[in-house]
Amino acid sequence: MAAFELGAREAAERIRAGTLSPVELVEACLERIGALDGRLQAWVHVDAPGALAAARQLESEAKSARLRGPLHGVPIGVKDIFHVAGMPTRAGAGTFAHSLPTRDAACIELARAAGAIVLGKTHTTQFAYRDPAPTKNPWKAGHTPGGSSAGSAAAVAARMVPLALGSQTVGSVLRPAAYCGVVGVKPTHGLISVTGVIPLAWSLDHVGVFGRSVADAELVLGVLARRNLAPGPARAPRLALAAELLSRAAPEVAEHVQTVARAFARAGASVTEVKLPAAFGELHAAGHVVLEAEAAAYHAHDFGAHAGEYGPEIRKGIEAGLTLSATAYLAANRLRLAFRDEVMPLLHAHDALLSPTAPAPAPDLSTTGDAWHCAPWSYAGVPSVSLPSGLASSGLPLAIQLVQAAGAEARLLAVAAWCERELAFTHAPQA
């Protein structure tokens, strides 16, 4: 197996055992980027000299049995709304928004302290909203990798890097993970610091991760959350299935999720039909009001001077947010929080709520796709996971989403590990 094909946990274990050099791993990833990124455009900035210098230092430390942490020598990609000291932050926008930070975002500090090597910055949609990034889907270049964490998902899927960081305000980690056939995890709101990350909507922004397995995602999540999130023994879970979450899916996707649920039941899981709280009916509209109001508040100063340089979707969202009253914002936020409170007992009563991650496979490059299935759990601030679960008739990946109550990451990861084992998804995009 080539070094670039290794998942994060296996790479870390080999580095710890002395059978893999961090330099060898970084060189393999850089070679892979050189071979593929001209076509896929996952990366906006690659710091080859810096990554190799860090790898040499970490290799020396590993040889002396001085390991910084669980990510020692593992390369990561970072979405280009995260500040990384010495690397430009562009946020997918024009030069008016560019900066050269001298300090890492809080989560980057933690990753580096645990031994991670920042390989570079991955493409994002402008200001992490809906205007598509230049990145192509590694499975089929005419299709979107999703947004807004487009480059992070594509880079992990294309085996350019074993791990990448992204952010999710509505569906920007789980949807790209689903479209690109990798694992995506969005933890509880606030579990991972967003200090040093350009905001879209403070009440909804989450730092999330991409990996090639649940174990890989758990490895970096534990570092960023500064706690042990290792799941307990995997056992057949109690799953909930809500008809409301299947009704918007394309027939192929709805049938796929039902087929997966039946397979899980045959493997010992219990699958119970449930109904979501009444507030679900108004949740999507309310969450969007909160997003637009908070995005407008953050961008108001720059927007006054640079409105013409904003993309059409983010411009439309900010303009809508600038017209909202405080009363409308507060009413929407109250409804969002009411849904959170009402859905929590349902989530606690099951090991996970099962649904599609997206209503259909990745659409074409004119859009970043539909975040409807991810949005409720961003608005409620509860943890969710996307697992690749099969291939559509088009050959593009399909995915399931698992959701748990706030603060129950370890429980959710245990369920995800069980489901991942039963799904046995081994497909990868062709280089």
Residues annotated as catalytic (active site), given as ranges: 79, 148, 172
Name the nearest CA neighbour of 206 among 41, 62, 383.
383
**CA pair distance 327, 332, nearest whole angstrom:** 9
Report how far apart, in Å, the C-alpha atoms of 275 and of each of 50, 233, 246, 305 are.
Answer: 51, 29, 12, 47
- Token pair for 21: 């050099």
**CA pair distance 374, 362, nearest whole angstrom:** 15
**CA pair distance 341, 245, nearest whole angstrom:** 19
The neighbouring-strand residues paired with 402 are 354, 385
Amino acid at 169: T
Q: Is 54 within 8 Å of 85 (Cβ atoms)?
A: no
Q: Is 99 within 8 Å of 130 (Cβ atoms)?
A: no
At 382, is the secondary structure helix, strand, or coil? Answer: coil
Q: Is 374 within 8 Å of 357 (Cβ atoms)?
A: yes
**CA pair distance 342, 107, nearest whole angstrom:** 31
**CA pair distance 61, 218, nearest whole angstrom:** 24
Name the nearest CA neighbour of 226 among 347, 138, 106.
106
One DSSP character per residue, 305-367 reads: HHGGGS-HHHHHHHHHHHT--HHHHHHHHHHHHHHHHHHHHHHHTSSEEEEESSSSS--BTT-
At 9, is the secondary structure helix, strand, or coil? Answer: helix
Query: For the chain, how big is the Rg over CA atoms in Å?
Result: 20
At 99, is the secondary structure helix, strand, or coil? Answer: strand
Q: Is 127 within 8 Å of 91 (Cβ atoms)?
A: yes
The neighbouring-strand residues paired with 210 are 164, 184
